[in-house]
Structure 1
Amino acid sequence: MFFVLLLSPWGTSAQDAGRETDKQPPRLEVPACTASDNRTTGLATTDLVLAVRDAGRELLLLDGSTLAVLGRCQLPHALEGTPVRSPQGRYVYAAAAGGWVLRLDLQHFGQALGTRTGLALSGLVLSADGRWLLAGHAQPHSLVLLDAQLNVVRSYRTSALTGGADSAVSGVWLAQARRSFVVAFDTLPELWELSYDPAAEPIHDGLVHDYRMGEAIATAGFLGVRRTPLSQPLRVVLTDAPLRHLLAIAAPGPPGQDARSGTELEIINLDIRRRITTRTLTGYPMAGAGVVFTSGTRPWLALPTGPEGRVVLIETRGWTLHPETLVALRGVDAVRSHPATPQLWLHATEATPSDTLVLVDKDDWRVIATLREPDRRWLPVSFAAGGRQAVLATQTEIRLLDTRTLRELRRVALAQVEVVFALDGPAPDALQK
């Protein structure tokens, strides 16, 4: 295998807020992937399961229905985070070590494109239309907007409107219904929203009621920064389904601080750009470990809260805390689900006698199944076929389960698996675009 490395200046444009740039950072184009049957096309419409091995440097592409190995990719930089597939199914985008953003082409199979947007990525998100990617960085402190060909379009300095010290980015999210990206920071007491809607309303920095009176100076809403001021920097732990609301907490205190006294959970509304209420939780909720789901007709959040593994339930219409925890099981560190899946999948890594998956019915919250593999650990579950199937894996095998019946559909032995991701093929309407 050989590498073609195309270098171009990577200067200080990432330090200039909202600045369009003609300078392009280092890029690479490599023949990274080979097909198992010598095919060169045909995976763009296929449901896929990605199995990661070799410390994130090797991807196995498995057929989403049969788990047959269709190809493998040897990545130039180790994978970080969750890959995302373009709406038309052709490309897979992924964050990689060293600040690289990678793109695999599933139509012209074999090529990988890469752009280095920083030194250390803290998040990467793809717009719902597949036209834009936003990369957030721990180093340097910046946001970088790219097009689908991984060209840098704009960079943003992550500081307050009045200047001052910039901040590392703690996370980026896609608000699909809003056609925007949402950004949180380590030390900057703000949330940002960047709209990729060309018809986005102008931005009026300052209080909301000021611009309704025509007192504020507007800036362009398209790809501009809409700021939500906070009383302190917050860590976002979960969002509701339309991403109108974010649930956030203050950074944890020093080691040894007793979290049992309560953690204040702030609920922030992005429409009015302020906190609307708070709730006090026992324990410290874990970022990215919860899930949004519907029980009956009501929207709920399930949120694990720290070492004791309690799962808190919050009804989001009135932000009401349910008085009972979901299950009496220690060590729950993640809850996963899918809108088309009838269960919540609770992963308890500290359970005894072994690593445990507990399946809870969404409607009546009763435990309907408990899955254990002696002397093995479950990898994070993912969902395929529009939620009709669960991809369940250990380090030595991958299984497909029907989420309605929990019947095992397929099982394949595969050594040294580190994590698996299900990437469904495009919807029929996406293929026509």
Structure 2
Amino acid sequence: MIRPALLLGGLLGLLVPALPALADAPDPNMIYNRHCAICHGVSRLGGTGPALLPDNLSRLKHDEAVSVIRDGRPATQMPAYRELLDEAEVEALAQWIFTPPEHEPTWDDADILASHEVAHPHGSLPDTPVFEVEDLQNLFLVVEIGDHHVSLLDGDTFERISRFPSRYALHGGPKYTPDGRYVFFGSRDGWVTKYDIYNLEVTAEVRAGINMRNIAVSADGRYVMAANYLPHTLVLFDARDLELIATIPVEGLNGDTSRVSAVYAAPPRNSFVAALKDIPEVWEIRWPEDLAEGDEPLVGDFALHRMEAPDYLDDFFFDMEYRYLVGAARGGGGGLVFDMDEERKVADLPLEGMPHLGAGITWELDGRRVMAIPHIDKGQVSVFDMSDWSLVTHIETDGPGFFMRSHENSPYAWVDVFFGPHHDRIHVIDKQTLEIVETLIPEPGKTAAHVEFDRRGETLLLSIWDDDGYLLKLDANTLEELDRMPMRKPSGKYNVWNKTRYEEGTSH
């Protein structure tokens, strides 16, 4: 039995607070308990349906919430309530779910253990895929956020192998085991799901927290770590069946606690690295290299290393060797470079505003390795020399971008214009001249975003980010459209080879 440790405390049993209601106004608390609690939980923490707390609903606008309550959500278990609730009741309920509860909810080890379900124990399913493809390493997973499904695609034929439902609001991107057989998903309301790609089956699930930012899988495929906003914890699981190893309270040396912005795997270091929202530190959690296959890890096997930072850091970028970490300072204070071997800050980057370091990529330019990152608040891609962290140039774009992608075999880097009036555009940048050589507008008025290459860098997939959207397959060199596949608001696409080999053009 793997021993959980560092318990967070007893279960408080939060009840939903009743809001004061006007004499003739609908009572949303009563409406919720009558119609919603059976799926979304008495305390709004979720059940078969997602958690209905303000932080968990950050992607949902008020008008969308009204529509979902009134009309239901296609291809999900969410029914329409237009025959049971009038417009005033729907509106009252929609407002109420965006209201914080009177007491902050809790989620401790007892809750994690109670949520744990194993449908197929590790090793119980066949090792031969139930489908035939030419290259198991060239599969793609596509997250469709329009109706909370995931599509599995053959990267060579562009055919859909399977489409299966996901938890609500997947966040942070799926993470593969090194062999590409298993993939782990993390949802904003805390669920970690293990999926066997070969057998097209969910094998295990566990809920790590109430509001979770992302998950990471160790390079050897043995561990999964979840980063929580609520509660302020990191949670470590055994990747085989998602059994709990440890819950780690995130506390500073002065006793202050912190939300976790993100957690990353650092493959060459046998570690996880955590970005903390409310403590000016960087955490690295390492495990021993000599832990034998089959040994059950103990809490003492893991060591916490703290790096003090002069500011709060929200977003990380790593060099290819994972020695250097670049963090974005809170409030537009620039970028900070840390040497993780020496555990200290070694350089500053002249960055203003909100660079999206998590989308950064690298490539070789004139015999030196450079990094390029888009900005969320300005139309600009910044390029830095990684040998001395000096600025090479700023590439002006048609607006703020969010995703950037390339491939070592491609001469181009792609960056979207996700925010602002030109969100239907995507730029193609020559990696040697550092100039925009093409601007594509695949579907005027509809957002074009998130490129992902196949394993060879020959073709790429691009999302038309719309409820009635689709996936474009393009020739990576000629930019010619090859095919399209209708999808419900396809967002991220993740190629097995690129993600498991940490390809230089794919964010990690």
Q: 1:297 aligns with which of 358, 361, 367?
A: 367
CA–CA distance in structure 1, aligned partners of residues 338 and 145 of structure 2 = 40
Q: Which among 305, 315, 327 is matched to residue 226 of structure 1?
A: 305
For the residue of structure 2 that corresponds to 1:65, the secondary structure is coil
CA distance 1:300–1:428, change in 2 (3 Å): closer
Q: Aligned pair 1:400/2:394, yes or no?
A: no
Q: Which runs of 5+ in 1 are unaligned?
A: 1-9, 32-38, 201-219, 253-258
Superposition TM-score, scaled by structure 1 size: 0.78
Q: In the alignment, which residue of structure 2 is the partner of 1:414?
A: 486
What does residue 5 of structure 1 align with? Answer: none
1:390 aligns to 2:460 (yes or no): yes
Unmatched 5+ residue regions in structure 2?
11-108, 121-128, 292-298, 502-508
C-alpha distance in structure 1 between counterparts of 2:202 and 2:347, whole Å: 49
Deviation at 1:295, TM superposition (A): 1.6
State the match for 1:127 in structure 2.
Answer: 218
What secondary structure does 2:303 align onto?
coil
1:26 corresponds to 2:115: yes
Instruction: Give 2:424's match in structure 1, choosing from 329, 345, 355.
Output: 355
Return closer, same or farther for 1:97/1:55 CA change in 2, 3 Å cut-off.
Answer: farther
Deviation of 1:40 (Å): 4.2
Q: CA deviation at 1:183?
A: 0.8
Identify the residue that residue 496 of structure 2 maps to in structure 1.
424
In 2, the alpha carbon distance for the partners of 1:42 and 1:422 equals: 19
Separation in structure 1 between the aligned mates of residue 320 and residue 401 of structure 2, nearest angstrom: 22
- 1:307 Cα deviation (Å)? 2.7
User: How much does 1:379 deviate?
Assistant: 2.6
> Are positions 1:60 and 2:132 aligned together?
no
Question: Does 2:321 correspond to 1:242?
Answer: yes
User: Equivalent of 1:158, from 247, 250, 274?
Assistant: 250
Superposed displacement of residue 130, structure 1: 1.0
**Match runs of 1:255-266 below 5 Å:** 263-266=333-336
285-294 vs 347-356, which moves further: 347-356
Aligned-residue offset at 1:406: 3.0
- Is the contact between residue 304 and residue 333 of structure 1 (CA under 8 Å) also seen in structure 2? yes
CA distances 1:357-391 after superposition (whole Å, capped 9, x unpaired): 11111122133322112222213111222433211
Question: Is residue 140–residue 168 contact of structure 1 (8 Å, CA) maintained in 2?
Answer: yes
Which position in structure 2 is the counterpart of 1:309? 379
Seen in structure 2, the aligned counterparts of structure 1 residues 198 and 77 have a Cα distance that, compared at 3 Å, is: same
CA distance in 1, matches of 2:194, 2:214: 15
CA distance in 2, matches of 1:301, 1:335: 11
- Offset of residue 58 of structure 1: 1.4
Amino acid at match of 1:154: A
AA partner of residue 431 (structure 2): K
Q: Percent identity?
A: 25
1:286 to 353, 356, 359: 356
Which consecutive segments of 4 or more residues in structure 1 shift more than 4 A? 39-44, 350-354, 425-429
Q: Distance in 1 between matches of 2:114 and 2:366?
A: 50
Shift of 1:418: 2.8
> As a proportion of its length, which structure holds more strand?
1
Pairing of 1:2-401 with structure 2 (within 5 A): 13-14=7-8, 24-29=113-118, 40=130, 45=136, 47-53=138-144, 55=146, 57-148=148-239, 149-160=241-252, 162=253, 164-199=255-290, 222-252=301-331, 263-322=333-392, 324-349=393-418, 355-373=424-442, 374-394=444-464, 395=466, 396-401=469-474
- Does the Cα contact within 8 Å between 2:144 and 2:490 map onto a contact in 1? yes
Amino acid at match of 2:474: L
The number of residues matched between the two structures is 381
Structure 1 residues 386 and 113, CA gap change in structure 2 (3 angstroms): farther
Write the deviation string for residues 78-128 of structure 1: whole angstroms up to 9, x where unpaired: 422211222222211110232110011122333342111111111211111
Per the TM alignment, residue 351 of structure 1 is displaced from its structure 2 partner at its CA by: 7.0
Cα RMSD after superposing both structures: 3.4
Q: Contact 1:397 / 1:413 at 8 angstroms: preserved in 2?
A: yes
Higher helix proportion: 2
The CA deviation at 1:172 is 1.0
Distance 1:156 1:306, change over 3 A: same
Counterpart CA distance in 2 for 1:123 and 1:333 is: 17
Q: How far has the Cα of 1:198 moved from its partner?
A: 2.5
The answer (yes or no) to whether the contact 1:383–1:389 under 8 Å persists in 2 is yes
Q: Distance in 1 between matches of 2:202 and 2:429?
A: 42
* Aligned equivalents of 1:427, 1:319: Cα separation in 2: 25
CA positional deviation for 1:419? 1.3
Q: Distance in 2 between matches of 1:354 and 1:24?
A: 43
Deviations 1:200-219 (A, max 9, x none): 9xxxxxxxxxxxxxxxxxxx
Secondary structure of residue in 1 paired with 2:450: coil
Deviations 1:155-179 (A, max 9, x none): 211113x461221111111211222
CA distance in 2 between counterparts of 1:414 and 1:427 reads 24
| CA positional deviation for 1:411 | 1.1
Q: Deviations over 1:328-358 (max 9, x none)?
A: 5333343322333321112123577662111
- Following the alignment from structure 1 to structure 2, what is the Cα–Cα distance between the partners of residues 241 and 330? 28
Check conservation: 1:87, 1:426, Cα contact below 8 A: no
Tell me which moved more, 333-342 or 124-133.
333-342
Work out whether residues 56 and 80 of structure 1, in 8 Å CA contact, stay in contact via their aligned partners in 2.
no
**SS at 1:177's partner residue?**
helix
Amino acid aligned to 2:380: R
